[in-house]
Every structure is written in structure tokens, then in C-alpha cells.
Amino acid sequence: MSAWPVLVTLAALLFYFWTGLMVGNARRKYKVPAPATTGNPDFERVFRVQMNTLEWLPIFLACLWIFANYWDGRVAAILGLVWIVGRYMYAHGYTLAAEQRSMGFMIQAIAVLLLFAGGFVGAVMSLFGA
């Protein structure tokens, strides 16, 4: 097994942990006590960054590992890093204004789509002995 997908997985989990810290800081900054998730639009955007990252994390991780199983782990890792960069761009843009999240979202979605497609092709090819 290549260590590259492992390192990217750990980086993605670290990124998710960071989004959780962002939410904690936003709670204090905007005075939104737990368990509330609404009340201040600036807080709500930070909260949505974390929740949207959580929503995409299982899809990303499954696609990353399926892709890495059939193809070069370094290629999987590069696409994984693209996903993380896209998530960062999404987070940075969204915390500024909701309209600024689109580019980061598209980048991370394309990275997952490529990982998914590569995993699918690899699985189909393995069925036919290729």
C-alpha cells in the first residue's frame, strides 16, 4: 500500500478538525452558544463550511481509496490534495460571503468526480482481467 493516500487521508481529517475549530471560534466571536446553529449569518456560514465538509468527506475518502486500489497511489494523492485545496478555497470564500464559495466547490467536486470515475474504471477493468 502506498503511503501517499494515507498521508492525504490524514491531511483531509486534519482539515476537517480545523473546520471544527473554526466553528468553535465563530461561536465565541458571534456569541452563538451551543447547541444553536443559527442566529448570526456570519456564524452560519462558518458552520455550513464544517457541515458541508462532513457531508463530502465520506464520498471523498471512499473514492480516494477505491481509486488508489486500482491506480497509482501518488495519482490518488495528487487528486486528494486538489480536493483539500478546493475545500480550503470553499471555506475561505464561504466565510467571506456565500457567493464566493463556488470556485472551491467546483474544484473539490471535480476532484471527487475524477477519483470516482477512476475507481469505477479500475473496478470494471479488474472484472475483465485487464
For 84-114, write each residue's pLDDT tens digit: 999 999 999 999 999 999 999 999 999 999 9
pLDDT over threshold 90, residue 54:
yes
The alpha carbon torsion through 64, 70, 73, 79 (nearest 10 deg) reads -40
Rounded Cα distance, 35 and 24, in Å: 11
CATH code for position 65? 1.20.120.550
Instruction: Show the domain range for 121.
Output: 3-127
Quick one: DSSP state of residue 130? Answer: -
**Catalytic (active-site) positions:** 28, 101
Task: Give the model's pLDDT for residue 1.
Answer: 77
The whole-chain average pLDDT of the chain stands at 97
Work out how many domains the chain is built from and give that number: 1
What are the tens digits of pLDDT across the range 9-49?
999 999 999 999 999 999 999 999 999 999 999 999 999 99
Maximum C-alpha span of the chain: 59
SS3 state at 36: coil
pLDDT over threshold 90, residue 80:
yes
Rounded Cα distance, 22 and 89, in Å: 15
